[in-house]
Amino acid sequence: MAASRLKQQLDDMDVKVDRQHPLFVYLPCGVGGGPGGVAFGLKTIFKDNVHCFFAEPTHSPCMLLGQITEKHDEIAVQDFGIDNRTAADGLAVGRPSRFVGKTLEGLISGDYTVDDDKLFILLSRLADTEKIWLEPSALAGVYGPVSMLKSEAGQNYLADHGVEAARLANTTHIAWATGGSMVPDEVMADYYRRGVHLKK
């Protein structure tokens, strides 16, 4: 549903999605149900022209480890000595969904991790530049294009999937925000101050 309505929104904005105009979507991921459902819907609509990536905190990379090892819910981040402590509330999940990891194993393009401090910095910058206030988890998606473009693995992915420079210029990136509007003002102000402080 989210996907078919997104297609309508993109059409209304004259944003094309086809082989020459690829779509990259960055979805913050906890146990995997929400982003998995959205990614699946997107693939059924945009097929090979959409590339979906999951985003996780560096301290809770459960879906990433589940997919790399292909052990899904048989492993938890704690098994690898990772503490699962993150300020990104809904993403603080130690063990991923097997259903999502296994079902989507051929449809998800990849996964990346983001440091908590960066989430707060991006939170404050988004508030300053766009006047949009998100919860820390939501910023994991916003880092997606940088994570992909800056890394060798990301560059290799682009080359492997025919997204060379010319097509990259036609790309649409969508960061999927998880939440934020219910966060009380004083809590959001704390998040913001933390981001500003870390940026220094």
Partner 1 sequence: MDKIAGKTMDEWKKAFPIIEKIIATEEVFWANPKYSAYDQAMKQIQFNEKDIRDANERLQRFAPYIAKAFPETTETNGIIESPTVPIPAMQHDLEEMFGQSIPGKLLLKCDNSLPISGSIKARGGIYEVLKYTEELAIKHGKLSTDDDYAVLDSEAFRKFYSNYEIAVASTGNLGLSIGIISAKMGFHVTVHMSADARRWKKDLLREKGATVI
Site for partner 1 in 151-180 (CB under 8 A): 151, 153-154, 156-157, 160, 165, 168-180
Residue 173 has, within 13 A of its CA and on its CB side, a CA count of 14
Total of residues contacting partner 1 (CB under 8 A) = 95
Distance CA 121, CA 123 (A): 5
Shortest separation between residue 169's beta carbon and partner 1, angstroms: 5
Q: CA quadruple 119, 125, 126, 131: dihedral positive or negative?
A: positive
How far lies 96's CA from each of 17, 137, 186, in Å?
A: 30, 17, 32
Shortest separation between residue 148's beta carbon and partner 1, angstroms: 6
Q: How many CB atoms lie within 10 A of CB 160?
A: 8
Residue 10 · residue 159 · CB < 8 Å: no
Shortest separation between residue 6's beta carbon and partner 1, angstroms: 6
Q: Residue length, the chain?
A: 200
- CA nearest 61: which of 31, 25, 41, 36? 31
The pattern of x and - marking residues 102 through 141 that bind partner 1 according to CB under 8 A reads -x-xxxxxxxxxxx--x--x---xx-xxx-xxxx--x---
Q: Restricting to residues 70-99, name those near partner 1 by CB under 8 A.
A: 71, 74-75, 79-82, 89-90, 92
Q: Restricting to residues 25-54, name those near partner 1 by CB under 8 A.
A: 30, 33-35, 37-38, 41, 43-44, 47-48
With CB under 8 A as the contact rule, the residue among 17, 39, 100, 148 that binds partner 1 is: 148
Shortest separation between residue 56's beta carbon and partner 1, angstroms: 10
Shortest separation between residue 150's beta carbon and partner 1, angstroms: 5
Shortest separation between residue 157's beta carbon and partner 1, angstroms: 4
Residue 109 · residue 52 · CB < 8 Å: yes
The reply to whether 191 sits near partner 1 by the rule CB under 8 A is: no
Distance CA 179, CA 116 (A): 16
Residue 134 has, within 13 A of its CA and on its CB side, a CA count of 26
Nearer to partner 1, 64 or 120 (CB): 64
With CB under 8 A as the contact rule, the residue among 17, 32, 61, 191 that binds partner 1 is: 61
